[in-house]
Structure 1
Amino acid sequence: MAVLLRLPPLGCPLRSSMHCTRRMAENPHSNKPSSSVASFSATTNAAAPETSNRKLPILLFDIMSTVVRDPFYDDVPAFFGMSMEELIESKNPTAWIDFERGIINEAELGRKFFKDERPFDLEGLKDCMRKGYSFLEGVEELLYGLRQKNYEMHAFTNYPNWYQIIEDKLKISRYLSWTFCSCTNGKRKPDTGFYLDAVEHLKVDPSNCIFIDDSAINVNAAIAVGMIGLQFKNANTLLKDLSLMGIHISTD
């Protein structure tokens, strides 16, 4: 029978895009098999029995469109009374990215969000997004199952300090720590440095990290630094991918 090491309980959050071009440039829901399965097989024998000396892998989760529904694609255009195409054409292409990296603050975002710097209801936008945040179907049950098995889990996300709004609503820190956020690191996926910073912080070999993200670009960047990468499509597919690695959990 497999023996699982028990890790110390995770703490609460350690630290305190609206960028549509990625979603338009790639299809995160393609039917291609997850590119990480072969990568994992090359480094770990999932069929081999676990021993007391075997360390459980650390799971790094993207948040938006992997754990949490992203309000940007439907709710935000409706808030502004625009189509998605009109919003993309009107907004400053770098303002949200700079906000995610912590280069500008919330007030500066309010001024620079649109190319023409038109005023808008920033608090109303935040409330719109707050209402739109929810767990993707089946994901909270999956996280709960992993937590019950004592897997160490961290957020690895491109997001501004508004991640605190998500935490206030969904209490994601019950399952994982908000350890790696672009707004505190100053780097964004797929910047290689962001991944290497995570490995250095965790003090583990990259091959002991499983990175999960809906973006194929971000997954490939994780694989390039030696992590195991899984492209998220839905909770059921992720369960199957994890089971191929010997990670079996119940979501009942």
Structure 2
Amino acid sequence: FRSVVLLDIMGTLVHDPFFDEFPSYFNLTFKELLSVKHPESWLRFERGEIDAAAFCEKFWAEEHAASQPPVSADGLLSHVRAHYRYLEGAERVLARLKATEGLGTHALSNYPVWYQAIEEELVLSKYLEWSFVSCHMGVRKPDARAYTIPTERLGVSASDAIFVDDALANVEAARAVGMAAIHFTGDWDAAEAELESWLKGRGVTLSPPAADASVTAT
């Protein structure tokens, strides 16, 4: 494929439980959770430097660990995975991308090995390849390597790729290496139009929407 779409997952295609359901597991608000959790353990988990057991063992900041309960990896994952769901409009656009000839569609996600639970719940592999997840790449967006690794492995230049993410810092980092990039702000109709325009400029026609009304997200 000479044209490539790289898609962030959490907060772009899939509801991200990190901000609401994740802290609710501990009966905390997000702000309260940030004040007591370890500042690096989740980032290390996302980079694949530690496994789930080590992440949970180091979940709390050292100064708060004695006053906080032990964290069960199975219990926490079971809680958050129940809240994985497609964002409105995402599945429709994914289906159009999948059906478009001459186009490769890949995940470019900051996430630990728990991305496998997202796949089990939603089967995103119907639409894209889980090619570039931080836990396997060893780097997280917005590190420049998070963008150059995909283009190198796919054998394309940065200008052959377009990236979609809800985090502006990640979008700006993609643009800095020469990619086209879309800042997703919650509206897949708008992002779809931008994707269609970029593809048209490369001589690629985005496949029409599926006639099957079931290919929609709720």
RCO higher in 1 or 2 (8 Å CA, sep ≥ 6)?
Answer: 1
Matching residue of 1:122: 73
Q: Is the 8 A contact 1:142 1:249 kept in 2?
A: no
Separation in structure 2 between the aligned mates of residue 90 and residue 79 of structure 1, nearest angstrom:
14
Q: Is the 8 A contact 1:232 1:238 kept in 2?
A: yes
Which amino acid in structure 2 is aligned with residue 143 of structure 1?
A: L
Q: Deviations over 1:6-33 (max 9, x none)?
A: x6xxxxxxxxxxxxxxxxxxxxxxxxxx
Q: How many aligned residue pairs are there?
A: 198
Separation in structure 2 between the aligned mates of residue 191 and residue 106 of structure 1, nearest angstrom:
23
Deviates more, 1:114-123 or 1:227-236: 114-123
Point out where structure 2 has 5 or more consecutive residues left out of the alignment: 211-218
Matching residue of 1:251: 209
1:159 and 2:111 are equivalent in the alignment: yes
Which amino acid in structure 1 is aligned with residue 209 of structure 2?
A: T
Q: Report the Cα offset of residue 251 of structure 1.
A: 3.2
Which amino acid in structure 2 is aligned with residue 238 of structure 1?
A: A
Which amino acid in structure 1 is aligned with residue 118 of structure 2?
A: I
- SS of structure 2 residue aligned to 1:80: coil
Q: Deviations over 1:47-102 (max 9, x none)?
A: xxxxxxxx4x2000001001110011111121110111111101111100000001
Q: How does 1:1-252 map to 2 (within 5 A)?
A: 55=2, 57-115=3-61, 116-117=64-65, 118=68, 119-150=70-101, 151-233=103-185, 234-245=187-198, 246=200, 247-252=205-210
- SS of structure 1 residue aligned to 2:87: coil
Q: Report the Cα offset of residue 249 of structure 1.
A: 4.1
Q: Deviations over 1:98-146 (max 9, x none)?
A: 0000111111111111113341233221011110100100101110011
Matching residue of 1:52: none
What is the TM-score when the length of structure 2 is the normalising length? 0.87
Which amino acid in structure 1 is aligned with residue 197 of structure 2?
A: L
Which amino acid in structure 2 is aligned with residue 152 of structure 1?
A: G
Q: Report the Cα offset of residue 250 of structure 1.
A: 3.3
Which amino acid in structure 1 is aligned with residue 33 of structure 2?
A: L
Separation in structure 2 between the aligned mates of residue 248 and residue 61 of structure 1, nearest angstrom:
16
Separation in structure 1 between the aligned mates of residue 24 and residue 79 of structure 2, nearest angstrom:
10
What is the TM-score when the length of structure 1 is the normalising length? 0.75
Separation in structure 1 between the aligned mates of residue 125 and residue 83 of structure 2, nearest angstrom:
19
Point out where structure 1 has 5 or more consecutive residues left out of the alignment: 1-6, 8-54
Identity %: 39
Separation in structure 1 between the aligned mates of residue 120 and residue 34 of structure 2, nearest angstrom:
28
Separation in structure 1 between the aligned mates of residue 168 and residue 207 of structure 2, nearest angstrom:
25
- SS of structure 2 residue aligned to 1:152: strand
Q: Deviations over 1:170-198 (max 9, x none)?
A: 11011111110110110010111121111
